[in-house]
Structure 1
Amino acid sequence: MTQALSLPLPEAEALAAFVRRDRSYDGRFVVGVRTTGIYCRPSCPARRPRPENLALYPDIPSAQAAGLRACKRCLPDDAMQDRDAVRAALDAISGQGGPVPMSVLAERTGYSPDHLARIFRRAVGLSPAGYGRALRLEHARDALGKEANVTDAILEAGYETPSRFYDEAKDRLGMTPSAWHRGGEGVTIRWAAVPTPLGDMLVAATDKGICRLSFGEGVGSLAARFPNAELVEGGEDFADLLTRVIAEVEAPGSDPDIPLDVKGTAFQERIWAELRHIPPGETRSYAQLAAAAGHPKAVRAAGSANGANNVAVLIPCHRVVRSDGSVGGYAYGPEIKIALLEREKPR
């Protein structure tokens, strides 16, 4: 296998993506096949050629300059155009700071609204409208931390009325905007600390779901995060949820429907969603995680979002390793990360 030009990612990673037909890498590079004179997208369904007949190119013009033509089976030119359209839509939504009408996005990208919505959801994991709402909620949460007046913060974030914000926020923030602004005031958080083979585990939940799972921490860490919340130890209602959490930690993947109450930026929540898509027993690199989230260049940001995860194991940030296969960092120490990965290996 020959690398023709400098790639935007490590050669070994690109080749591995091509071998496993990873669609998340489509648009990031193309693969030339010298024996057939074509170039393909990484996910091309055709039979894989011999390595010595391959050449990796950073983009379509590079492959075309080498005398190659587009594969008629996987249509790599379409993948590049789709990538550019999604990026243009993301830029438009980010510039607006919230939802942008599909008609406007379609006109800007030259795509039909239905096709744009389809490729956007595939790349980002949310519809354009959903991404815009998440971004606006992110701005609202930031404003709530700055403004003394909750209504002013909501209006500053771009909502026409406070009621519109409450309608959108009730299912994402997990607590009212006023309570969030006042450090969890008016919210009850139930918690328990239990011994496990990995060390003492702290589990805490609001009425909506688990808001904290950590190792080696006590209730003091909850008080620091939610200084004005009511912290209540245990309880019968909490016992059932705690039992489910312990079982999931012992056998990852056995109960994927445990409710969570986590808060993050739109990007962080996209990364956390991708983490939950990684099957037990498998790992991803930070670059793969960023690419799967639709932001292949945001590798460092993906690492930061990974580290901002508040519910260990349930959002399996331990399944992300360095590109060279080494374990890398972990909030609770590499020993616990290694133990988690070991218990997930197929037996």
Structure 2
Amino acid sequence: MQMELYWQAVKRNDARFDGIFYLGVKTTGIYCKPSCRARTPKRENVEFFPTPESAEQVGLRACLRCRPRDINIVDPHIVKLIRASELLDGWEAPNLKLLAAELDVSPFHLQKSFKEIFGVSPKKYYELKRMERFKRELKSGSDVTTAMYEAGFGSSSRLYGKAAENLGMTPAEYKKGGKGVKINYTIPDCELGRILVARTIKGLCNVAFADDDEELINNLNQEFPNAEIVKDAKVLKAFVDEILKHLSGKENRLDLPLDIQATAFQMRVWDILRKIPYGETVTYSQLAEELGDKKKVRAVAQACARNRIAVVIPCHRVVGKDGSLSGYRWGVERKRKLLEAEKNL
């Protein structure tokens, strides 16, 4: 998460991070400070360094434009927040009061400023880092139990309690790439053409529109290549009935169980989407502001675009700042019809 934080600072030319880290660009052989106004390099060509010396040790030269060695003052506020993240990485459990005392700041100030910079609270940051460690252990070949304890989960109940939110499936299923998961689907008609509704034993994993069944089935197979996919309209009847009633305007609210894979940021965006009232819209910038960072408009738009649960996660209710419909995974015309139908009821 810290590397992602650094990369976002580079894209913003954020001078608050000058002296905190330096970015080296492999293709040019030059290192800069985060606020450098040179053209932003590609992410895969960037490496981060804690000091100018560490960058020069691998053969990089100081940028003549931003002069990265000419930094006299490092933002103490950012230093404390980076230190807070480092402390959390080594703790067995997050404690806001102890963390604030360690940094000589108030708990309220720490909570607010940490979320402003990292996008999540200290507690959420700790949970995400722990889950990242768990995933790395699994990918390196560890069994689930070993990975669980190496990542700091004291019991399997705590791990599985977080698994659905962070993995979209159980840890064992994640390790096998979803192999062994059974997915039932059906494809009925609806007001917007053909609609595929698919579910695992835990909840909906795919809801999609198209003009023909072949496209829908191919997309489902591509998304879940290792799953056992079976057509079964009977198993999905209750889900389909609710969705079709919603599309016809007979049911304004959809509160169906989901089984989805997503990053923590996508989960936050999708959670807000599900709270947008029927018949109303919000802009991408309003969503970004609600998430605590007005500059994350593009990230919000990408999270909406990656939604695979049409209507139930109502990304169609997000519009451009000027009211334009912009993109929609299942076609702008379907988005227009959905919004018109909701406003007319």
What is the TM-score of this pair, normalised by structure 1? 0.63
Query: What is the correspondence of 1:1-347 to structure 2 with a 5 Å cutoff?
Result: 92-93=84-85, 96=88, 100-107=94-101, 108=103, 110-112=105-107, 128-130=122-124, 132-134=126-128, 136-137=130-131, 140-141=134-135, 144=138, 146-151=139-144, 154=147, 158-159=151-152, 163=156, 166-172=159-165, 173-216=167-210, 217-251=215-249, 254-347=252-345
Change (3 A) 1:212 1:346: same
Tell me, yes or no, if the aligned pair for 1:191 and 1:231 is still in contact at 8 Å.
Answer: yes
Read off the aligned partner of 1:213 and give its amino acid letter: V
2:235 is paired with a residue of what secondary structure? Answer: helix
- Runs of 5+ unmatched residues, structure 2: 1-11, 13-76
Read off the aligned partner of 2:296 and give its amino acid letter: A
Sequence identity (%): 36
What is the rounded CA distance, in whole Å, between the counterparts of 1:91 and 1:233 in structure 2? 52
Deviations 1:62-121 (A, max 9, x none): xxxxxxxxxxxxxxxxxxxxxxx9xx87994598469632124433483346x9779999
Read off the aligned partner of 1:215 and give its amino acid letter: F
2:94 is paired with a residue of what secondary structure? Answer: coil
2:295 is paired with a residue of what secondary structure? Answer: coil
Tell me, yes or no, if the aligned pair for 1:213 and 1:312 is still in contact at 8 Å.
Answer: yes
What is the rounded CA distance, in whole Å, between the counterparts of 2:267 and 2:174 in structure 1? 18
- Runs of 5+ unmatched residues, structure 1: 1-7, 9-84
Tell me, yes or no, if the aligned pair for 1:318 and 1:340 is still in contact at 8 Å.
Answer: yes
What is the rounded CA distance, in whole Å, between the counterparts of 1:94 and 1:276 in structure 2? 34
What RMSD over aligned residues (CA atoms) do the two structures have, in Å?
3.9
Structure 1 position 319, deviation (Å):
1.0
What is the rounded CA distance, in whole Å, between the counterparts of 1:198 and 1:285 in structure 2? 23
Deviations 1:143-196 (A, max 9, x none): 75x534455994698335683763343443342223123232121111111111
Tell me, yes or no, if the aligned pair for 2:196 and 2:209 is still in contact at 8 Å.
Answer: yes
Change (3 A) 1:321 1:140: farther
Structure 1 position 214, deviation (Å):
0.9
Tell me, yes or no, if the aligned pair for 2:191 and 2:248 is still in contact at 8 Å.
Answer: no
What is the rounded CA distance, in whole Å, between the counterparts of 2:119 and 2:326 in structure 1? 26
1:213 is paired with a residue of what secondary structure? Answer: strand
- How many residues of Structure 1 are paired with residues of Structure 2 in the alignment? 263
Tell me, yes or no, if the aligned pair for 1:188 and 1:207 is still in contact at 8 Å.
Answer: yes
What is the rounded CA distance, in whole Å, between the counterparts of 1:90 and 1:259 in structure 2? 37
